């Protein structure tokens, strides 16, 4: 997430690190599960610039998430009477300072969607799907895998791909909410695919460097202040829009 006041990037390695380095302006907050690797990223980002901040974050650990949210409470101020459960939500945090939100998804979300049952495809492609319905679908996938019936229930055999469907669909839901609540603030939220990048997960044979993988996220994060869009789109590599539907 980026703003005039600074940048917050989750995942301080690979293309996310390159993304943060290219965006660096004002206050930079890097997060990572591994504190040692996160601190190493902070040292790499210094190089004559203001000191970046690091905060440990494990998205599988609710306490870790709450600790990070608490560190951002300054966005509201100590005297703010906004209920804490509202302060802890993403969209209010965006409204206070952030003007561009870039969620890193993957082309795998489109490929995986194609391999879902027609019923699941219809649900994930719905223009009115809610966050609660999406969470319900993600939880059902987990439960179906535990029971060994996920393929029978119409799910593809890839947890990573389904997780990226979740990222893309959640981005569309959040963008829709922002559009409904928009009051001239022009907050633009998009999901994107950095491409096949040489990271720990993708391996050394991937064709793109971390810097090349950061190109599309940086483009979306640095959209001009007066830009009306893109908003609520799924972007693939090379800064091109990809519609949210299965390949033909």
CATH at 16: 3.40.50.720
Verify cis geometry, omega within 30 degrees of 0, for the bond prior to 66: no
**Domain boundary, last residue among 61, 88, 115:** 88
Clarify whether 160 is annotated catalytic.
Answer: yes
Residue of 76, 160, 219, 247 marked active site: 160
8-state DSSP, 29: E
DSSP string, 136-171: HHHHHHHHHHHHT-TTTTT--S-HHHHHHHHHHHHH
154 in the same domain as 237:
yes
Tell me whether residue 93 is in a domain.
Answer: no
Q: Domain count for the chain, please give it.
A: 2
Query: CB count, 10 Å around CB of 218?
Result: 21
191 in the same domain as 74:
no
Domain residues for the domain of 151 are 99-248
Tell me whether residue 225 is in a domain.
Answer: yes
Per-residue pLDDT tens digits of the chain, which is 248 residues long: 333 344 444 444 444 455 555 554 555 677 788 888 878 777 766 655 556 678 888 877 888 888 877 776 555 555 555 555 555 555 555 554 557 888 889 889 999 999 999 999 999 999 999 999 999 999 999 999 999 999 999 999 999 999 999 999 999 999 998 888 766 567 899 999 887 777 777 677 877 887 787 888 888 888 888 888 899 998 887 888 887 764 44
């Amino acid at each position: 997430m980026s703003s005039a006041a600074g940048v917050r990037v989750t995942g301080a390695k690979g293309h996310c690190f390159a993304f943060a380095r290219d965006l660096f302006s004002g206050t930079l907050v890097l997060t990572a599960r591994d504190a040692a690797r996160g601190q190493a990223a902070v040292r790499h980002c210094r190089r004559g610039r203001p000191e970046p901040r690091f905060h440990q974050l494990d998205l599988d650990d609710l306490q870790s998430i709450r600790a990070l949210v608490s560190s951002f409470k300054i966005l509201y101020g100590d005297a703010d009477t906004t209920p804490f459960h509202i302060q802890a939500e993403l969209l209010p945090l965006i409204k206070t300072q952030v003007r561009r939100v870039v969620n890193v998804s993957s082309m795998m979300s489109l490929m995986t969607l194609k391999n879902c049952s027609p019923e699941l495809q219809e649900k994930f492609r719905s223009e009115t799907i809610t966050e609660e319905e999406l969470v319900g679908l993600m939880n059902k996938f987990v439960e179906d895998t535990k029971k060994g019936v996920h393929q029978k229930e119409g799910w593809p055999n890839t947890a990573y791909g389904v997780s990226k469907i979740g990222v893309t669909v959640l981005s569309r839901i959040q963008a829709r909410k922002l559009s409904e609540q928009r009051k001239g603030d022009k907050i633009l939220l998009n999901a994107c695919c950095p491409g096949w990048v040489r990271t720990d997960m993708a391996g050394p044979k991937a064709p793109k460097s971390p810097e090349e993988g950061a190109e599309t996220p940086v483009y979306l994060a640095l959209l001009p202040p007066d830009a009306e869009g893109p908003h609520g789109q799924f972007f693939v590599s090379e800064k091109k829009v990809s519609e949210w539907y299965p390949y033909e």
